[in-house]
Amino acid sequence: MAAKRLKLTSTDADSAAVQAAAQVVNAGGIAVMPLETVYCAMARVDHTQALADLRRLRSLPADKPIALHVADAKSAEQYIDPPSPYQHYLMSRLWPGPVGMVFAVSREKREEVTARLAVAEHDVYDAGQITIRCPAHAVARKVVGACPHPLAAVPAADGALDVGALPQELLNKVEIVLDDGPVRHGRPSTIIRAGERDFQIVRQGVFDRRILEKMLQTTILFVCSGNTCRSPMAQAIARKVLADWLNVPEKQLEQAGYQVISAGTSTLGGSPAAAYAIEAVREYGADLSAHRSRPLTQQLISQATVIFVMAQNHADAVLAADPSASDKVMLLDSHGDIEDPIGGELALYKNLARKIKGVIENRLADRSLLGAGEVKK
């Protein structure tokens, strides 16, 4: 009997599809669904028969572990030793996304996990290691999150970038297929070995090392309206503060792992900073003379490690563009909005620069830049 096929429409409207797929895998069946890289066949790792059926789909050895898929980093931590700060940072920056991570796991933890799941060690671990992935595809992640344990996943077929590429023989062996059209990337996920202080690429896929290093860079994004006064002033002052705290020349901030940028919610881009803004930040050794405004984009939001907004309406604009950014958006001044100085005199800009410097110093020292290493004076 051929698999039930559900066409996905939008993330918000897919609750029925998520529930149907979760019901299948929770009952011990196999579901095929899109990741951002390929269509995968997925089954619960703690269902022995389903796992055996999954291996047979791809003619995999009976003792070969299959990469586990989780909904978030917190779920992954149930199957590995307590992560180092660097490993935690890797997960926070690269997940969800097309990156699988290989962790070395102690014997004690492996024994505890396999006893809890009631599975053989080779179902989860390979020579003391485990491979875990947190997919970026929203529906797939919701299905995984609706299951009490991770889902093992294998490519449904070679080159399975669309439902049309799935052979009928496979469709006869699975219970449900979620159809979201062609996958986003069409390349395999990148797999890295997540060490305590560094990473190595095991398999290059969607991301190469250059892109991964860029993604792991701590990016601080300041957002205002026109990107000619408040946010560029904050950007220039933050760069100077960081450079001083790190004891590096400002032009070497990127080499030290930090990028500081700004954008506006109401600009087409290309405008210089306000003359008074340029003069006000000069007192702190900051230079805005070359600044040109740029509009806020979803790419900038995704790239940012933390997003400091000048007012609540800027936070609303960020979240309207990317609701998933909610955990990294905050007012620069925790006490309220920083008012727009546009049209004011130089004294107003100087007072604003002094205030921005104070709140930036408090914010950056307090947040420790999301695990990229503490920044201290």
**Is residue 241 in some structural domain?**
yes
Confidence tier at 93 by pLDDT (50, 70, 90): confident
Residue found under tokens 């740029």: 294
Stated as kind and residue range, the H or E segment containing 103 is strand 99-104
Examine the domain organization and report whether 151 and 222 are in the same domain. Answer: no
Examine the domain organization and report whether 122 and 251 are in the same domain. Answer: no
In whole angstroms, give the CA distance from residue 14 to residue 141: 12
Active-site residue 198, yes or no? no
CATH assignment of the domain containing 125: 3.90.870.10
- Candidate list 126, 337, 340, 367, residue with the active-site label: 340
Q: According to the model, what pLDDT value does residue 377 have?
A: 41
Q: What is the mean predicted confidence (pLDDT) over 310-318?
A: 97
- Candidate list 134, 147, 224, 229, residue with the active-site label: 224
Range of the domain at 262: 217-371
Residue 201: pLDDT above 50?
yes
**Is residue 376 in some structural domain?**
no
Confidence tier at 159 by pLDDT (50, 70, 90): confident
Active-site residue 354, yes or no? no
In whole angstroms, give the CA distance from residue 23 to residue 318: 35
Examine the domain organization and report whether 224 and 117 are in the same domain. Answer: no
Q: What is the mean predicted confidence (pLDDT) over 281-297?
A: 95
List phi, psi (to 5°) of 210. Answer: -60, -45
**Is residue 366 in some structural domain?**
yes
Q: Hey, is 158 helix, strand or coil?
A: coil
Confidence tier at 374 by pLDDT (50, 70, 90): very low
Examine the domain organization and report whether 135 and 172 are in the same domain. Answer: yes
**Is residue 377 in some structural domain?**
no
In whole angstroms, give the CA distance from residue 191 to residue 354: 46
Examine the domain organization and report whether 251 and 266 are in the same domain. Answer: yes
Q: According to the model, what pLDDT value does residue 289 have?
A: 95
Examine the domain organization and report whether 151 and 279 are in the same domain. Answer: no
**Mean pLDDT for all residues in the chain:** 91
Residue 6: pLDDT above 50?
yes
Residue 15: pLDDT above 90?
no
Residue 11: pLDDT above 70?
no
Q: What is the mean predicted confidence (pLDDT) over 63-91?
A: 93
Confidence tier at 365 by pLDDT (50, 70, 90): confident
Examine the domain organization and report whether 93 and 239 are in the same domain. Answer: no
CATH assignment of the domain containing 339: 3.40.50.2300
Cα dihedral angle (85, 89, 92, 96), rounded to 10 degrees? -120
**Is residue 326 in some structural domain?**
yes
- Candidate list 110, 230, 294, 363, residue with the active-site label: 230
Residue 373: pLDDT above 60?
no
**Is residue 35 in some structural domain?**
yes
- CB atoms < 10 A from the CB of 368, how many? 13
In whole angstroms, give the CA distance from residue 346 to residue 284: 15
* Pair of tokens at residue 254: 């990127």
Examine the domain organization and report whether 197 and 292 are in the same domain. Answer: no
Length of the chain: 377
**Where a domain ends, among 210, 244, 277?**
210
Q: According to the model, what pLDDT value does residue 375 have?
A: 42
Q: What is the mean predicted confidence (pLDDT) over 10-27?
A: 83
**Is residue 249 in some structural domain?**
yes
> Whole-structure pTM over 0.85, yes or no?
no
Examine the domain organization and report whether 198 and 339 are in the same domain. Answer: no
List phi, psi (to 5°) of 33. Answer: -150, 160
**Where a domain ends, among 148, 179, 210?**
210
How many domains, the chain? 2
Q: What is the mean predicted confidence (pLDDT) over 150-163?
A: 92
In whole angstroms, give the CA distance from residue 251 to residue 370: 22
Q: According to the model, what pLDDT value does residue 189 have?
A: 94
Rg over CA atoms, the chain: 24
Q: According to the model, what pLDDT value does residue 324 have?
A: 79
Task: Read off the pLDDT of residues 210-224 as tens digits, 9 standing for 90 and up.
Answer: 889 888 888 999 999
Task: Read off the pLDDT of residues 239-274 as tens digits, 9 standing for 90 and up.
Answer: 999 999 988 899 888 877 889 999 999 999 999 999
In whole angstroms, give the CA distance from residue 373 to residue 377: 13
Examine the domain organization and report whether 187 and 70 are in the same domain. Answer: yes
- Please give the angle made by the CA atoms of 250, 346 and 318, to the nearest 5 degrees: 60
Q: According to DSSP H, which parts of 118-248 are helical?
A: 138-145, 168-171, 209-216, 230-246
Q: According to the model, what pLDDT value does residue 322 have?
A: 87
Q: According to the model, what pLDDT value does residue 4 have?
A: 83
Active-site residue 224, yes or no? yes
Confidence tier at 89 by pLDDT (50, 70, 90): confident
Residue found under tokens 């946010």: 231
**Is residue 98 in some structural domain?**
yes
Q: What is the DSSP pairing of strand 199-203 with strand 39-44?
A: unpaired
Q: What is the mean predicted confidence (pLDDT) over 315-342?
A: 93
Examine the domain organization and report whether 197 and 233 are in the same domain. Answer: no
Examine the domain organization and report whether 206 and 233 are in the same domain. Answer: no
CB 68 within 8 A of CB 150: yes
**Where a domain ends, among 153, 188, 210?**
210
